[in-house]
Amino acid sequence: MTDAGNVRIDAGLLDRSIVLVGLMGAGKTSVGRRLARELGLPFLDADEEIEAAAGCSISDFFELHGEAEFRAGERRVIERLLTGPVCVLATGGGAFMDPATREAIRRHGISVWLRADLDVLVKRVGRRNNRPLLQGGDQRRILQDLMTTRYPVYGQADVIVDSCDGPHDDVVRDAVVRLSAFLAAAPDAGAPAAP
Ligand code: S3P
């Protein structure tokens, strides 16, 4: 459990999960896993849960059913995860762009945008070759276009944390500080209403 500033993050969550959003390569899974450990919360990865539910990889899912079906499945899985026990949840890069998924995150979570610049994203996505949106094109160009359309929407997140090219632990520390500040300033903003 973390006591950063004078707000205990675990107590301040009021039944809300911490939901990491941001582009491919922003570090949502790596940072999320570490953040969960730091806060003593379970960690879940939406993409992994979608793969488990679908019984196939995300690349295969895109190929077999297309992006629209993927977004519908993603919406269902994220809604289910967010109505379960409080956790740190890493979402796929397109999740927060879907209005219904964004609304579910707003109702049940505190969103944290891991913002990264283009060079960092390009460097990180180059390590894996399993992202359907980056197949068969110039990755830098695709990411640049996605930044243009998505960054204004990611900017609606409750908390923004810069994901720099340094150690992930530095990003986790910054996330804890900013989450504490957010909870101190608006402790129950967006928290589900009491029955
Ligand atoms: C996507 C990002 C991927 C995955 C899918 C679509 C996107 O997740 O959900 O390939 O639309 O940006 P990561 O952001 O974890 O790579």
What are 2's two structure tokens? 């973390």
User: Residue 6's pLDDT is what?
Assistant: 36
Q: What is the pLDDT of residue 125?
A: 94
Counting Cβ atoms within 10 Å, is residue 141 exposed (0-12), middle (13-18) or buried (19+)?
exposed
Kindly list the averaged pLDDT for each block of 10 residues, start to end, along the chain of length 195.
55 89 97 96 97 96 96 98 97 98 97 98 89 93 98 98 94 96 80 63
Best residue among 19, 20, 24 to mutate for probing ligand 1's pocket (most ligand atoms within 8 Å of CB) is: 24
Beta-sheet strands, E only, within the chain: 3-4, 7-8, 17-21, 43-45, 88-90, 109-115, 159-162
Question: How far apart are the C-alpha atoms of 67 and 132, rounded to whole Å?
Answer: 9
Which candidate, 153, 24, 32, places its Cα nearest to that of 81? 32
Q: Specify the residue with its C-alpha closest to ligand 1, atom 4.
A: 92
With a CB cutoff of 8 Å and minimum separation 6, the contacts of 53 are 73, 77
Residue whose tokens read 């922003």: 26
> How many Å lie between the centroid of ligand 1 and the Cα of residue 165?
20
CA of 24 to the centre of ligand 1 (A): 6
The predicted structure's pLDDT at residue 67? 96
Given this model, what pLDDT does residue 128 score? 80
Domain at 7-183, CATH homologous superfamily: P-loop containing nucleotide triphosphate hydrolases (3.40.50.300)
The whole-angstrom separation of Cα 144 and Cα 44 is 28
Q: State the pLDDT at residue 5.
A: 43
Binding pocket residue ranges, ligand 1, CB within 6 Å? 24, 28, 47, 58, 92-94, 131-133
Indicate the SS3 state at residue 164: coil
Nearest-CA residue for atom 8 of ligand 1: 92
